[in-house]
Amino acid sequence: MTKIITVKMNDDFTCKCGNDVMDSGFHPCDKKGNEIEPATTWEGYYKCAKCDKIYLDEE
């Protein structure tokens, strides 16, 4: 099972691997890490483009 980390995703967020929005960035995904287009059913998950950690936006 993939560990999901709940954080406040904002423009100055930096992943533990050092990636941020000005580097490789983050992609919307489902809770399994599959990249998706944000839609009304999107639940607010993001995947780090460098290390594949999954984050859930707490907003």
Q: Where are the domains of the chain?
A: 1-59
Closest CA relative to residue 48, chosen from 6, 20, 10, 7: 20
Residue written as tokens 């995947």? 47
pLDDT of residue 1: 60
> Does residue 59 surpass a pLDDT of 80?
no
* Helix, strand, coil % over all residues of the chain, rounded to 5: 0, 30, 70
Q: What is the mean pLDDT of residues 6-10?
A: 92
Per-residue pLDDT tens for 38-47? 888 899 999 9
Q: Give the closest residue to 5 by CA, choosing from 47, 50, 49.
A: 47
